[in-house]
Amino acid sequence: MAKLFLHYSTMNAGKSTALLQAAHNYRERGMEVLLLTSAVDDRAGPGRIASRIGISSAAECFVPEDDLFHRIAERAPLACVFVDEAQFLTAQQAWQLARAVDDLDIPVMCYGLRTDFRGDLFPGSAALLALADEIREVRTVCHCGRKATMVVRLGPDGAAAREGSQVQIGGNESYVSLCRRHWRAAMGD
Ligand SMILES: [Zn+2]
């Protein structure tokens, strides 16, 4: 029976790397997969999932208006669907993915950030945390060696931003993953 998976972490933990490796494992065995990524994140160019360690793959973009159940149903049968930047899904789209798992019997593997730089859940991640059959953490470390679970967004002055919009696309240079203790210190708590 197919399952809905959520692989979550903070920034720069290697989620895209894990996604690309898993997708490769299917393709290597001649199985067809569908790769989806958010149109919000165009760091890798449109329709591409790229990892910091240098691997990448073509992907289809989704926008909040897309009905992902229908996108997947049109392409069925598929061995697996992979969703990168899953934090940018709407709650409705998380339900559409759950329906694809249940009604089309296609496994869906979502990879996304749990919280934003303010420590708030992303809407897509909140819905997936509620709906997923299996939830796995992709781990990374703070500079102190503890597990990093939070992220700060650095402003042009190098200080942690306390306010601003939830979505601002950037890579290593503008986000730093920290343990909660050091995140609180960076945020002035
Ligand atoms: Zn720390």
Q: What percent of the chain has pLDDT over 70?
A: 95
Question: If you measure from the C-alpha of residue 18 to the centroid of ligand 1, how many angstroms do you get, rounded to a whole number?
Answer: 24
Only one residue has tokens 């449109």, namely 46
Q: What percent of the chain has pLDDT over 90?
A: 80
Only one residue has tokens 């969703």, namely 83
Question: If you measure from the C-alpha of residue 149 to the centroid of ligand 1, how many angstroms do you get, rounded to a whole number?
Answer: 9
pLDDT of amino acid 165: 83
Higher pLDDT, 168 or 177: 177
Active site residue 85: yes
The domain ranges of the chain are: 4-139
List the binding residues for Zn(2+). Answer: 142, 144, 179, 182
Closest CA to 117 of 84, 161, 78: 161
In the set 85, 134, 137, 173, the catalytic residue is 85
4-139: what fold?
Rossmann fold (3.40.50)
Only one residue has tokens 């989620």, namely 15
Is the confidence at residue 172, as pLDDT, over 80? no
Is the confidence at residue 163, as pLDDT, over 80? yes
pLDDT in tens, 74-114: 999 999 999 999 999 999 999 999 999 999 999 999 999 99
Is the confidence at residue 41, as pLDDT, over 70? no
Question: If you measure from the C-alpha of residue 148 to the centroid of ligand 1, how many angstroms do you get, rounded to a whole number?
Answer: 7
Residue 171 pLDDT grade (very low, low, confident, very high; cuts 50, 70, 90): low
List the binding residues. Answer: 9-16, 84-87, 142, 144, 167-170, 175, 179, 182
Residue 166 pLDDT grade (very low, low, confident, very high; cuts 50, 70, 90): confident
Q: How far is the first Cα of the chain from the last one, in angstroms, to the nearest whole number?
A: 46
Angle of the 91-104 helix axis to the 123-131 helix axis, nearest 10: 30
Residue 133, token pair as written in the block: 């059959």
